[in-house]
Amino acid sequence: MTVDSQPILDGDRRALARAITLVESTRRDHRAEASALLEAIMPNTGNAIRVGISGAPGVGKSTFIEALGNHVIEQGLKPAVLTVDPSSTISGGSILGDKTRMETLARRPEAFIRPSPSGTTLGGVTRRSRETLLLCEAAGFDVIIVETVGVGQSETRVADMTDMFVLLLQPGAGDQLQGIKRGIMELADLILINQADDGRESLAENSAREYRHALHLLRPRSQNWTVEVATCSARDGQGIDAAWDAVQRRQAALDDSGELASMRAAQSRTWLWTEVQESLLADLREQLGSVDLFAELEDAVADGRLPAKTAADQLLDYFLK
C-alpha cells in the first residue's frame, strides 16, 4: 500500500482517506510507509486551528460540530472532523455506521469527516489520531475538530494534540457540577452549556454562572487566556458564532504571545516519548511472548511468589541483552 504525498497536498479526498487508512494500519510494512509519508507532508502541517470537543453522550456534540462546521464554511474555511462513531460499538461497525451523524456537514464539499469506532478505541481517539490530524492539515483543512466522548482518559489525549479544548455540558443544577470529573474541567478552555432553548435558557444561564464561579477556584492553565463559559443551542444555531469567535480570539492570543508555538513543541515532545514507550512495550511483548521465562515470571507474580518489581527487572535484563 503506497500512498504518494502529492495528491494529498493537492486536496484529493480519496488520497487523504487512503493515507489515513495507511497510518491506522498496524502492519509492520505499512508502518514504515506511513512514517515515510508523514515525513514528506510534515512541512505542510501546522497551519490549522486544532480544536478538541468533548462532552457526555447526548449533550449535543455532533449537532454542535455540524453547526460549527457549517459556520466556518460560511467564513470561507474548510473543516475536517475526526469524529467518534458511537453506533459501531453496538453494531460492530456495520450498517448503522455514522450515516445519521453530521449529515448536512458530510454533504458539504468543503468538509471532511472521518469517523473512528468508539468501541475499539479510547473514546474514539486512537494512537494515530494525531497523525490523521496532520494529514488533514497537509490536505489544506483550516480547522481540525477532534471529537471524543467524555470518558476521562481520552480527553487528556485530545488535549495533548489540540490547541484548544471545548467542553459541552447540559443545563443543570449544582449537583451536576459535582458529577463532572474535575480533571476534565481543568482541561477546558471554553465551556458551553448547550441546549439553552425550549424554556431552559435561564437554567442554562444559571449553570454558566455556577461554572464560572467554580473556575475561579482552579488554577489558570494559561496566562494569555481566561477560560470562558457561555450558553448555546446547537439545534437552533444560537451562540455558534460567539463560540467560533472565542476559538479565534484564544488562538490569536496564544499565537501572539508565543504560547501556541511552545505548547505545540511540548505536545510534540510528549508525542515522541509516547511513541517510544508504546513501541518499546509492543516490541517487548512480541519478543517475550514466546519466551518461557516470561510465562514463568508472570505466573510467579500472579501467585504472589515474586514481587512485580523483581520480575520486571529480570524481564528487562533479558530483553536488553
The footprint of ligand GDP (CB under 6 A) covers: 55, 57-63, 194-195, 197-198, 233-235
Which H or E element spans position 168?
Answer: strand 164-169
Q: In whole angstroms, what is the distance from residue 140 CA to residue 109 CA?
A: 13
* Residue 157, C-beta contacts closer than 8 angstroms, at least 6 positions apart: 122, 125, 129, 148
Strands, E assignment, 71-163: 79-85, 112-117, 143-149
CB of 189 to ligand GDP, least distance (A): 19
**Nearer to ligand GDP among residue 162 and residue 233 (C-beta):** 233
**Nearer to ligand GDP among residue 50 and residue 200 (C-beta):** 200
CB of 206 to ligand GDP, least distance (A): 17
CB of 247 to ligand GDP, least distance (A): 18
Distance, C-alpha 19 to centroid of its chain = 18
- 3-state class (DSSP) for residue 145: strand
CB of 168 to ligand GDP, least distance (A): 7
**Nearer to ligand GDP among residue 197 and residue 241 (C-beta):** 197
Closest residue to ligand GDP using C-beta atoms = 60
**Nearer to ligand GDP among residue 59 and residue 139 (C-beta):** 59
- Sheet containing 228-231: order of strands: 112-117, 79-85, 143-149, 49-55, 164-169, 190-193, 228-231
**Nearer to ligand GDP among residue 37 and residue 65 (C-beta):** 65
CB of 110 to ligand GDP, least distance (A): 21
Q: Which of 128, 162, 99 is nearest to 30 (CA)?
A: 128
**Nearer to ligand GDP among residue 73 and residue 169 (C-beta):** 169
CB of 181 to ligand GDP, least distance (A): 17
DSSP assignment string, 189-224: SEEEE----TT-HHHHHHHHHHHHHHHHTSPPS-SS
Q: Is 134 exposed, middle or buried (0-12, 13-18, 19+ CB in 10 A)?
A: buried
**Nearer to ligand GDP among residue 158 and residue 254 (C-beta):** 158
CB of 66 to ligand GDP, least distance (A): 8
Which H or E element spans position 169?
Answer: strand 164-169
- Are 18 and 3 in contact by the 8 Å Cβ rule? The answer is yes
**Nearer to ligand GDP among residue 59 and residue 246 (C-beta):** 59
Cell of 74: 460560511
CB of 59 to ligand GDP, least distance (A): 4
